């Protein structure tokens, strides 16, 4: 719906009510004024900015994914990732409850679903994959890298599930004695070395450079760095450190509040890192030079925030990647941002257990058709697809 009202400078304000999502029929008001390049053909009046007209819209797919094999049950989930065939990898931590174990077995640690929701492959178990398996990414050959945020390793598997190599030793961390324990409040009882060339410290995410296969690891709960390894697992370089309170408030580049919760590489070759508790995405070039902040300060979040707003991110599928999708775990929403400006244009989702709601929304990914997949951790324990219905 378009509504007109007066403006002291231009004389006209155009207000457009744009649906956020069809799950609840909720709406977001987008306001624009002044002279724009396009014209309403039917009205002969000034148009809203193009971004306001073409904000992507999504609706939840109630039929995706399909049923798991008999006896399988999901536990808490890590971040999903998508390969070149639009197979969606779902990471399962297999930490089912004792009551669930009386009737069921944990789903596999790594599961591949096709776009119809069929389970097409699975492998891994909690004794072999990184503990608290957390993040994944596919390379140009559809090998999959995985990391876990209660471990010190990264693994690279073939698309068929063969372990190709591993960085580090299972359970050995980048601390002075190789050990650490994270308490329920996320405090950690060992100081990070933030320097390991053959081990990590509770990494959360990984992104692969499509040009050369280098792996950019958000090493990211214990350490505070982006560690870069080549396609064979050889250490190349790193950047990042623990932020002070003053640096968190100022948005200092390369200083991180707590969890480097996710990481992605844009078509421009820039590295986007989720500074979750710092309420921002930090953007770097591939050598670690800071480019800019994209702030996600929503609602009651304050700096530093114990829950944080930047839990997952992905880009729209157009070549320019005009939109940035950010998963706000504090408010259980997906925000659609204008990539260039960082402005939140629209949002969908809400806290809850119903279809289209989120409970501990943890990570997201986007397939080649622009559909969004959101995986839930904690008591959510599911992955939902949101189909792109307007681009």
The angle formed by the CA atoms of residues 12, 339 and 33, to the nearest 5 degrees, is: 5
What pLDDT, on a 0 to 100 scale, did the predictor assign at position 100? Answer: 97
Residues 34 and 103 occupy one common structural domain: no
User: Count H helices, E strands: the chain?
Assistant: 3, 31
pLDDT digits (tens, 9 = 90+) for 20-46: 344 433 333 333 333 333 333 333 333
Residues 28 and 121 occupy one common structural domain: no
Residues 228 and 330 occupy one common structural domain: yes
Please tell me the total number of residues recorded for the chain in this structure: 391
Confidence grade of residue 391 (pLDDT, cut at 50, 70, 90): confident
Mean pLDDT over residues 172-186, rounded? Answer: 94
Residues 75 and 201 occupy one common structural domain: yes
Residues 258 and 124 occupy one common structural domain: yes
| Overall domain count for the chain | 2
Residues 380 and 318 occupy one common structural domain: yes
Residues 26 and 63 occupy one common structural domain: no
Q: 108 and 77 in contact (C-beta within 8 Å)?
A: no
Residues 10 and 146 occupy one common structural domain: no
What pLDDT, on a 0 to 100 scale, did the predictor assign at position 49? Answer: 52
Write the CB contacts of 91 (distance below 8 Å, at least 6 apart in sequence). 77, 78, 79, 80, 109, 110, 133, 134, 135, 136, 146, 375
Q: What is the CATH number of the domain that holds 165?
A: 2.120.10.30
Residues 41 and 132 occupy one common structural domain: no
pLDDT digits (tens, 9 = 90+) for 267-304: 999 999 999 999 999 999 999 999 999 999 998 888 99
**How much is the mean pLDDT over the chain?**
89
Residues 96 and 192 occupy one common structural domain: yes
Residues 236 and 365 occupy one common structural domain: yes
Q: Which domain holds residue 251?
A: 58-390
Q: 283 and 313 in contact (C-beta within 8 Å)?
A: no
What pLDDT, on a 0 to 100 scale, did the predictor assign at position 304? Answer: 94
pLDDT digits (tens, 9 = 90+) for 203-230: 999 999 999 999 999 999 999 999 999 9
Confidence grade of residue 51 (pLDDT, cut at 50, 70, 90): very low
Residue that is last in its domain, among 9, 38, 53: 53
Residue that is last in its domain, among 53, 80, 95: 53
């Amino acid at each position: 719906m378009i509504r007109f009202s007066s403006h002291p400078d231009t004389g006209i304000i155009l207000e457009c009510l744009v649906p956020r999502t069809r799950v609840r029929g909720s709406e977001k008001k987008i306001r624009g004024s002044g002279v724009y390049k396009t014209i309403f053909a039917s009205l002969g009046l000034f148009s809203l900015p193009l971004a306001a007209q073409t904000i992507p819209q999504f609706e939840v797919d109630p039929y995706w994914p399909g049923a798991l094999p008999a006896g399988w049950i999901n536990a808490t989930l890590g971040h999903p990732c998508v390969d070149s065939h639009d197979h969606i990898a779902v990471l399962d931590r297999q930490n089912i409850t004792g009551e669930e174990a009386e009737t069921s077995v944990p789903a596999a640690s790594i599961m591949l679903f096709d776009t119809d929701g069929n389970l097409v492959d699975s492998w891994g178990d909690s004794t072999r994959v990184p503990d608290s398996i957390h993040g994944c990414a596919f390379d140009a050959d559809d090998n999959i890298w995985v990391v876990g945020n209660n471990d010190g390793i990264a693994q690279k598997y073939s698309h068929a599930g063969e372990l190709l190599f591993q960085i580090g030793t299972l359970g050995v961390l980048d601390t002075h004695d190789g050990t650490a324990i994270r308490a329920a409040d996320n405090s950690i009882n060992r100081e990070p070395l933030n320097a390991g060339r053959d081990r990590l410290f509770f990494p959360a995410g990984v992104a692969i450079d499509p040009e050369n296969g280098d792996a950019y690891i958000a090493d990211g709960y214990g350490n505070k760095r982006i560690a870069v390894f080549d396609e064979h697992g050889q250490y190349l370089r790193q950047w990042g450190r623990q932020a002070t309170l003053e640096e968190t408030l100022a948005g200092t580049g390369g200083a991180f509040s707590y969890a480097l919760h996710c990481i992605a590489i844009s078509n421009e070759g820039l590295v986007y890192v989720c500074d979750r508790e710092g309420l921002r995405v930090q953007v770097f070039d591939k050598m670690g030079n800071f480019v800019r902040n994209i702030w996600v300060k929503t609602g009651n979040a304050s700096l530093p925030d114990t829950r944080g707003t930047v839990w997952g991110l992905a880009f729209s599928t157009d070549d320019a990647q005009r939109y940035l999708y950010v998963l706000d775990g504090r408010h259980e929403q997906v925000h659609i941002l204008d990539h260039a400006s960082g402005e939140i244009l629209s949002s969908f989702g809400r806290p809850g257990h119903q279809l289209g709601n989120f409970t501990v929304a943890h990570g997201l990914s986007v397939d080649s058709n622009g559909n969004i997949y959101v995986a839930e951790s904690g008591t959510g324990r599911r992955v939902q697809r949101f189909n792109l219905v307007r681009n």
